[in-house]
Structure formats: structure tokens, C-alpha cells
Chain A
Amino acid sequence: MMINIRLEVSARQEKGPLEEFQTLRCHLSQPYWARNLAPVFFLLCLVLFLSSCGLGDQQQVQQLDPRLKSFHIQSSRIIILDSQAEVDGTIQNGGHDRYPFDVTVDATFYDKAGNVIGQAEGVAEDILPGMSRAFVLMGQVDSLHYSHMALTLVSLRERRKEPNLPTPPPISP
């Protein structure tokens, strides 16, 4: 919705009276083309930027899988070594789907004033319904100002790590 509104505003600006007049007066003349290249480019960038924001929002909406509500973090603790942060915890799948899920968990670290001073991320693998699994989140933190953290369940998507190796040739008989 927000995208559409912004695009409408941009369109109105584009169709200003002066522009229409210039379009009639010197159609595709070099000075006119050159003068309008910058605004067109700016507009294009703006549209791309807004589109990307919109896509980001859409992706985030997609990531908020309702099934995430079935997962509950049972315990968590933070272990800091200098600026490296490790969050260990357990998460339980309280759902009834027959399949195991990989749950991506994010930790955000805050100082006393509530400012973000670091983040960590990790995955709890293959959590069957009713089961609890341990997770380890790795990240960075400003340890001197650490005050508290918040954990967020981000995704249920399976993570696959493709080995960085060439595909072996087919075996010929």
C-alpha cells in the first residue's frame, strides 16, 4: 500500500505543467533530453529503491510463518568472549505437523538505554513436534555495554549448504 501511494506522488510530480509544455515545445531535442536525463534517472532509482523496500517488506511478511507461533524458546544464555557473542538455548516445537523444522533464531543485544549493540544468528535443526532442540547463535556484541538481549524466531526454512565443489562428471558405463 505504501508503495502505491509513493508511486502516485512521484507520478503527479512527473506530470507537472512545465514538463508538459516542454514536451510539446521541443520534442526530444538534445538540451531537453539532457536536462531530463537526471530527473528520469532519479525517478528510476527512486522507483527501484521503493520497490526493493516493498520487496523487503513482502519477504518479511513471508518469513512470518504462522507456524512459528508453535515454537517456544525454553531457555537461553549468553556467553561472551571479548566481542564474540554466543547464545545457547533450547527451543521446543509445540506444533502438530509431522515434519521436523529448522528454525532460524536471531538474537539482538541491547545496552542499558535500549540501543542495539550487536546481533547473533543461528539455526535449531530438525525439531520434530513435541521435541526440544538446542541452538547456538553466533554473533558480535559490544561486551562492555551489554545489558540484555531479545530472541526472535525468524524462519522455518530449511538451510542447505551447497558444497563449493564442481559437479562430478557422470559415470559412463
Chain B
Amino acid sequence: MSSVAVRHKQPAAATPGFVPVVGEIHDQEDTDPDITVEQPLVPGFQFQKGGFQLSGRVIDVQSGQPVMNAIVWITMPVQKGRPTSIALHVVTDALGYYQFQHLAAGIYTVAASRYYTVGDGRYYAEHIFSALALRGDRSGFMLSLAPISAPGKRSFVTGRAKNVILIDLRGFYANSLLSDAQLANLTPDLRAFLQHANILKSVWHPYGWRPLDQYALLTGSYPQWATFDTWPRPVPWGAPDGVDTRFWFAGGRSAHLYGQESIFDVAKGYGMQTEVVAGADYILSDATTRNVDLLQRSSAFNADRWLSQMEDAVASGTQQENGFLLYGELAPLAPEDMSSSHDAQGDDYQRALQIADQTFGQFIDWLGQQGLLQNTLIALTTSQAQANHTDADNFYGMGITGQGTSKQTLLAVSGAAMCKSSADNNAYSSFVIAPILMHALGLPAPEEARVEVPGGCL
């Protein structure tokens, strides 16, 4: 694979005016005065009774066979300056049939996908069928999906990692590990790991907001917004999808159905065990929960519990013939302490960083004692920035854009299939992380990952 550095274009200078968008009203930080429109639970285009019916089948484009259990959803195209609606979802039956009832007349967008197997060894990538005019009942609307093979088992190649553990140092700046000399004595274990790892030092999250960036981390793609998406037309970094990222859906679970493929989906398709150990605000989209065997969340961080959960997950995963994928958030910095500055000596940030370092060190030591470092890839990322919408911008500066609108992370990878330590200072989007992890396992990148794996050691 050739190296693909992400070009960073400056966002348009136009000042966004207030645009009413269905979105979050329970803003924890209370910093979004613009968000005023509540997320309804019922799509705005569906009546309680009456209206029109839309029905049809989802079929395999190659075989013509019905696709059961496919997710089909329908939305109205977004109109600038007008409130939008959540999508309406259904699941196809055993014969691939779906049905929407009580719809208003209008122009709709219909999409379908199935990123999990039902024993047939196939996934179906999301496909969007736009500009569907509904002026009356309509039946027989066929949705053809292209199959993706899901082998259900892995073919191991010498030198490839069997397992992967991705640890996100939640709440900590990349620079606290990379360049902040004042924090060196607080992070001996993390820095020891970095010394032996392959590091991408300049990785930038596309949004600067956790839920979206976490989604990007685990899928390699922007979330498929319920209302608007420009994919496959690429959009410049820093202006994701042209959508004001201050707006974030925080409605019910159905509001987070994006239908895209995550690293868990890929791993599960090859028979791997998948587990997550995370904080309470782990993003509960379908992509980030669907193929996770066990998702354990905790409201408050406890190092002993975190270690126990991670070790249990690893112990269970080592019994799997096809290996395991474990994603763990190491987040000892409590949300209420996020405003603590990295250079405030002895303050919450530094104390939490020290706990993170010790816990990480204990976990790596335990993996070594279990003899797992030979066949397990350890990947480390960080995630911290208040960017793009508050005064508390990245304390380390204005970021690579010079506007403080970026959220820097790093990717450090160590273990099987990795050459000895290297450092890459090129700028990358965090979209690169999911493909890199899959590539290291010898697996394909998530279907809609937007960046290829760079060359070199990674």
C-alpha cells in the first residue's frame, strides 16, 4: 500500500448561522445554546394511521436470493434551514420483505444494509436508494444489495498478529506522552511502550467531538448521518460532511443507527471474539455495539476493576481459535475533572495520568506473563481536546490548522507483525487507525473506511 497522507484544507470562512437541526437537548456541558430542537421518537413523516404504505424486498444482487434480517430505513432528504426527522427502521423477514406504513407523501431516501451474518457467511454493504417519490401506496420496491464474504474463520499467516488490543487513553493529550517533558516522570510505562512501538505522531480526529471521533476510530468513516451524507463524494478534513458538528444526535438508540461497518464487524466476520471495556458514554451506535460479544461499561473508573475486566476478556479471547479483538478505554480522568490543565502540578489531570500509566504498565506486564505479547498487537491512542466550540481549546496550542479546531491523537502499535520502533511525523486522519489494525491482523478494512493503510511499518 502506498502512503496516503491526508491533506488538510482550511474550512470555509463563512460564519454558520443558526440552523435548527434535530439534535441533542441534554447537553452535559451546557455549552451549546444553539441546540434547541428535541429529537422526536416518531419520524416526522409517519402518521399514526392512514398515509401510504411502502413495501418490497431486499435481495442479493448476485444470486437474486432474499436477504433476511437486513436493516432498511427511510428518511426524508435534508433541506437546509428546516428541521429534519429521524429515520424509520425495519428489519426484513425471512423472505426479505420489508414494509413501511402510514407514510406521508413525499420524496424519500431509502437505505439498506446488513453488517452481520445469519449463518450464511455474508454481509451486505449499505446502499442508498435516493429520490423515491411516494404519492400513494407502493409495493414491490426492490432493494438490491451486494454481498461481502464473511469467512467465519481466519487463515493465519506467519508474522501476522492473532489478537489485537486497542487501548484509548481517554482524556489525555497526545502531547502529554510525546513531547511534554514535565510529565515524563509521571508516564514511565507509557513512554517505555512508545519507545518500542511504531508511532504515528500526528493523527487528527475529524470532528473534535468524542462520540463522532470514537465512531470514526472504530469504523474508519464519518457516521452516516440520519439526515445528510456526502459519501462517496469526499469532503475536506475539518469540515465533515458540511454539517455543523455542534449538533449531535443524542436521542434514543434508534437515532444512532448508521449502518456502517466497524472493526468489530470485520473481526466477527472472521470468527474473532470481540469485547469492549469502556466508560458510560461509549457510543452506542449499531456499528459500535452490533458485533461486540461483551460490552462492559462503568460509570466511574476503577483501576482494579478495569484490569480485571481486561484480563478476563483476554483470558476468554485466548481460548478462541480465531483470536480476539479487545477495545479498552483507559479513562481515570473523571468527566468533571476534564478542565484540569496538564501543567497544573499535582492536579487532577496529572494524578489521573499517573494512574493511567501505572494501570497500563500492570496490564502490559500481565500480558507478558501470559506469553501473549508475541502474538498480540497492542495499539494505543489518546483522545482529548476541547475543540471547535468552546473557549477551552487544546491546551497545547491551536493544532495543525492553526485554528485550534483539531483534536490530535497518536497511534502507537507494538507487537507481532510490527517492525522495530519507528516514528512517522506525517499528518494523518484518525480514519487511518481502523484500516491499520485490520491490516495488521491480515483482515480487510471496514467497508466504508475512507483512508488506506499507509506504507512503511504500518
Whether A77 pairs with B293 at a CB distance below 8 angstroms is yes
Interface: B91 (CB within 8 A): yes
> Hey, which chain B residues are within 8 Å of A92, CB to CB?
94
Whether A77 pairs with B295 at a CB distance below 8 angstroms is yes
Cα–Cα, bound, A150→B290 (Å): 18
Q: CB-nearest residue of chain A relative to B95?
A: A130
Interface: A116 (CB within 8 A): no
The range of chain B's interface size is 20 to 34
Q: Which of A74, A133, A146 contacts B296 (CB 8 A)?
A: A146
Q: CB-nearest residue of chain A relative to B274?
A: A77
Whether B91 pairs with A80 at a CB distance below 8 angstroms is no
Q: How far is the CB of B274 from chain A (nearest CB, A)?
A: 9
Q: Which of B68, B118, B297, B316 contacts A80 (CB 8 A)?
A: B297
Q: Which of A75, A79, A147 contacts B297 (CB 8 A)?
A: A79
Whether B305 pairs with A132 at a CB distance below 8 angstroms is no
Whether B308 pairs with A82 at a CB distance below 8 angstroms is no
In the complex, which residues 126-145 of chain A have their Cβ closer than 8 Å to any Cβ of chain B?
Answer: 128, 130-134, 143-144
> Hey, which chain B residues are within 8 Å of A18, CB to CB?
none
Q: Say what secondary structure dominates the interface of chain A.
A: strand
Q: CB-nearest residue of chain B relative to A75?
A: B116
Interface: B19 (CB within 8 A): no
Cα–Cα, bound, A74→B299 (Å): 30
> Hey, which chain A residues are within 8 Å of B94, CB to CB?
92, 94, 130-132
Known: A130-B95, A132-B69, A144-B305. A77 touches B296 (CB 8 A): no
Interface: B142 (CB within 8 A): no
Contact with B along A53-90 (1 / 0, CB 8 A): 00000000000000000000011011111100000101
Whether A74 pairs with B118 at a CB distance below 8 angstroms is yes
Whether B93 pairs with A80 at a CB distance below 8 angstroms is no
Cα–Cα, bound, A90→B71 (Å): 12
In the complex, which residues 276-329 of chain B have their Cβ closer than 8 Å to any Cβ of chain A?
Answer: 280, 284, 289-299, 305, 308-309, 312, 316
Q: Which of B92, B292, B305 contacts A77 (CB 8 A)?
A: B292
Whether B295 pairs with A78 at a CB distance below 8 angstroms is yes
Whether A79 pairs with B284 at a CB distance below 8 angstroms is yes
Q: Which of B93, B292, B298 contacts A81 (CB 8 A)?
A: B298
The range of chain A's interface size is 20 to 34
> Hey, which chain A residues are within 8 Å of B91, CB to CB?
90, 131-134
Known: A130-B94, A131-B94, A133-B91. A81 touches B305 (CB 8 A): no
> Hey, which chain B residues are within 8 Å of A147, CB to CB?
312, 316
Cα–Cα, bound, A136→B280 (Å): 18
Cα–Cα, bound, A147→B68 (Å): 30
Whether A82 pairs with B294 at a CB distance below 8 angstroms is no
> Hey, which chain B residues are within 8 Å of A133, CB to CB?
91
Q: CB-nearest residue of chain A relative to B298?
A: A82
> Hey, which chain A residues are within 8 Å of B280, CB to CB?
81-82
Whether B290 pairs with A77 at a CB distance below 8 angstroms is yes
> Hey, which chain A residues are within 8 Å of B293, CB to CB?
77
In the complex, which residues 20-58 of chain A have their Cβ closer than 8 Å to any Cβ of chain B?
Answer: none
Whether B290 pairs with A132 at a CB distance below 8 angstroms is no
Q: CB-nearest residue of chain B relative to A136?
A: B253
**Assuming A82-B298, A144-B309, what are 18 further A-B pairs, CB within 8 angstroms?**
A74-B69, A74-B118, A75-B116, A75-B118, A77-B290, A77-B295, A78-B294, A80-B294, A80-B295, A80-B297, A81-B297, A81-B298, A81-B299, A82-B280, A90-B91, A131-B91, A132-B91, A132-B92
A–B Cβ pairs within 8 angstroms, 26 of them: A75-B118, A77-B289, A77-B290, A77-B291, A77-B292, A78-B294, A78-B295, A79-B289, A79-B295, A80-B294, A80-B297, A81-B299, A82-B298, A88-B289, A90-B91, A94-B94, A131-B93, A132-B68, A132-B69, A132-B91, A132-B94, A133-B91, A143-B298, A143-B309, A146-B296, A147-B316
Chain B residues in contact with chain A, CB under 8 A? 68-69, 91-95, 116, 118, 280, 284, 289-299, 305, 308-309, 312, 316
Please name the 4 residue pairs, one residue from A and one from B, whose CB atoms are nearest each other, closest first. Answer: A131-B93, A130-B94, A81-B297, A79-B295
